[in-house]
Amino acid sequence: MATFTYNYKMFKCFKRKYAITEQAPPSDVKQVFSEFSDGGSFISAKQLQRFFLEHQGETDCTEDDSKKIVENALQSRKGNQDSGGGGDGVSGTGEGLTVEEFFQFLSFDEFNGPLKSQVHHDMNAPLSHYFIYTGHNSYLTGNQLSSDCSDVPIIKALQLGVRVIELDIWPNSTKDDIDVVHGRTLTTPVSLLQCLKSIKEYAFVKSRYPIIITLEDHLTPDLQAKVAEMTTQTFGDMLYFPQTEPMTEFPSPESLKDRILISTKPPKEYLDTRQFKDTSDSEKEFSEEGSVSPALSAEADDKFNGSDVDDECFNPRDRKPDQQSAPEYKRLITIHAGKPKGQIRDHLIVAGNVKRLSLSEQELEKASVSYGADIVRFTQKNIIRVYPKGTRVTSSNYRPHIGWMYGAQMVALNMQGHGKSLWYMQGMFSANGGCGYVKKPEFLLAKVPRNECFDPKRTLPAKKTLKVKVYLGHGWSTDFSKTHFDTFSPPDFYTKICIVGVPADKIHKKTKIIHDDWFPVWDEEFDFPLSVPELALLSIEVREYDKHEKDDFGGQICLPIPELKSGFRAVPLYDQKGEKLKSVKLLMRFQFT
């Protein structure tokens, strides 16, 4: 169970100068302060504990926690008075928090953030029972056609908590080693060994739960053997692979802590030459994760068709039926993968060994129209990986809910492709302590007849209503220059609040515009009826109104609604790349009815 504790560093908050001194406590804060202080001028440690328990729902809060908060405020107040300072609006010598100190405390997300910071989901179920933070072409620094391949984006992804890293592996120019590169494009390669070493170093800096490496394999058997040797030597005991076959159920994230798994297509599938009857079939196999040949530039087309590329790239059709695959390579594959040929429904039968199925965003959307229930049932035991369509050459992304609504575990996005889709991804995986694994809702796991499976397109009655109140915001004057938004006047801020989830729950609202104010006070409340709150995200975005041009961006955050803490909450905002702004925060209140 999560514990309600604060470390020593956090107790220094009352000594920091803070922009909220420009704003008075909202009337709701004053009212709650009066209620829990029994109408007094100070709120004691015991009263503060009652506020945490009854208003904020912090059931783990102890009186000792509250005492430390009050003691820290008193020491800070005394220090301000001894130094001759005005106390930043704080006065008095009572044994408790003043309303200004109470307001200041509420405005620090280190203490009073909107989400739980600890892992709290059941982590002992099979891997197929979780949404997993997944990257696509994890080695690319930019677009899909001509950017550099590097281990740097892999490191960044792991630092964010991404748990599934994709590597496309090809023979190098001399065919004696392995490159990671987006094949048949102008991207520059990086060595596989360098990528593996970086994965090992950064795999568990954010989370101890398992890393899954998905390999797009374009190698000959001798190079597959070299991959097996390289992988084993690099990862050592960190590498997990099944000791016995077949695997009829995936292990749990808890049992795989600090372990690295390999997922790819078993080599034996390449031995059947019937799979490569014509060029279109082999190209489809060659382009499993959305190759970009239709959108290649003229220069890229020339290289694609040139003899230098043909010499460098291994064509699976060249593999003879009697050529032996590398057994040591096959042995390391924990999650067997494949891409469906023929009717997709034929590949959604739940029977035998567990596996991973790869579908493009278009294939999944098309299949969901007729076979939505089959997809849900398939993902209860097996894994589906969804990847961007091949025409997304700028590394743009699709809306990840198209996969999550049907139980797809590995919804793969381009982590370098900034935008709302990635904000939603980051919001989803801020759940469960940010460990990279989020337990799927029970209705996606329930063993029910096909006609009773969850259908995200079905309109259901509202299960609960989320009430969101936006009080005020601050921090822009610290994080942005005085002329960033308007050259000759303070900014005109408003807040957009949206529900992102199943189609029936999508709704957009926004506050009024507060003109010419670095410290906007909106004090507005919105109701959001939710039919499937378990899959819903709360998207919050601050914009600066511009009459003649596009409204300026002022910060964003996306929060998983099942994880929202009730009561007053300090909500930090992030920039367009998903990096936390230093000072910008909103004071909000969340209530479920």
Q: pLDDT of 9-64, one tens digit each?
A: 444 555 544 444 568 999 999 999 999 999 999 999 999 999 999 999 998 888 89
pLDDT in tens, 68-82: 999 888 888 877 666
- Residue 466 banded pLDDT, cuts 50, 70, 90: very high
**Pair (17, 89) in one structural domain:** yes
pLDDT of residue 485: 95
pLDDT of residue 351: 82
**Pair (526, 581) in one structural domain:** yes
Q: Which of 424, 452, 480 is the last residue of a domain?
A: 452
Residue 460 reports pLDDT greater than 80: yes
**Pair (393, 328) in one structural domain:** yes
Q: Which of 78, 112, 146 is the last residue of a domain?
A: 112
**Pair (69, 165) in one structural domain:** no
**Pair (414, 349) in one structural domain:** yes
pLDDT in tens, 263-313: 999 986 444 433 433 333 333 333 445 444 333 433 343 333 333 333 333
Nearest to 233 by CA among 278, 198, 268, 193: 193
CB atoms within 10 A of CB 564: 22
pLDDT of residue 8: 40
Q: Which residues pair with 179 in a beta bridge?
A: 170, 191
Question: Highest mean pLDDT range out of 292-306, 334-348, 414-428?
Answer: 414-428
pLDDT of residue 9: 45
Gap between the Cα atoms of 309 and 171, Å rounded: 11
Instruction: Judge whether 182 and 168 are in contact, CB under 8 Å.
Output: yes
Residue ranges with strand state E in 483-551: 493-500, 507-510, 521-530, 537-544
Query: Any residues with CB less than 8 A from the CB of 526 and at least 6 apart, and which?
Result: 467, 468, 469, 470, 497, 509
Return the CA Rg of the chain: 27
Gap between the Cα atoms of 593 and 591, Å rounded: 7
Average pLDDT over residues 325-347: 90
Catalytic residues: 136, 182
- Residue 342, Cβ density class (10 Å: 0-12 exposed, 13-18 middle, ≥19 buried): exposed
Domain presence at residue 254: yes
**Pair (436, 495) in one structural domain:** no
pLDDT of residue 369: 95
**Pair (173, 303) in one structural domain:** yes
Domain presence at residue 120: no
pLDDT in tens, 225-255: 999 999 999 999 999 998 877 789 999 999 9
Tell me which amino acid residue 562 is: P
pLDDT in tens, 478-506: 999 999 999 999 999 999 999 999 999 99
Percent of the chain with pLDDT over 70: 84
pTM metric for this prediction: 0.89
Buried (b) or exposed (e) across 234-252, using 16+ Cβ within 10 A? bbeeebbeeeeeeeeebbb
Domain presence at residue 232: yes
Q: Which domain holds residue 376?
A: 127-452
**Pair (86, 223) in one structural domain:** no
Residue 414: both structure tokens together: 């381009």
Gap between the Cα atoms of 501 and 430, Å rounded: 16
Mapping DSSP onto H, E and C, the string for 150-199 reads CCHHHHHHHHHCCCEEEEEEEECCCCCCEEECCCCCCCECEEHHHHHHHH
Residue 99: both structure tokens together: 């309303």
**Pair (276, 242) in one structural domain:** yes
Domain presence at residue 205: yes
Q: Which of 401, 417, 452 is the last residue of a domain?
A: 452
**Pair (377, 297) in one structural domain:** yes
Domain presence at residue 121: no
pLDDT greater at residue 318 or residue 199: 199
Give the CATH number, domain containing residue 503.
Answer: 2.60.40.150
Domain presence at residue 585: yes
Mean pLDDT of the chain: 87
Domain presence at residue 459: no
pLDDT of residue 499: 98
pLDDT of residue 339: 86
**Pair (178, 208) in one structural domain:** yes
**Pair (544, 504) in one structural domain:** yes
Domains in the chain, number: 3
Gap between the Cα atoms of 13 and 108, Å rounded: 8
Domain presence at residue 3: no
pLDDT of residue 72: 87
Gap between the Cα atoms of 529 and 544, Å rounded: 27
Give the CATH number, domain containing residue 196.
Answer: 3.20.20.190
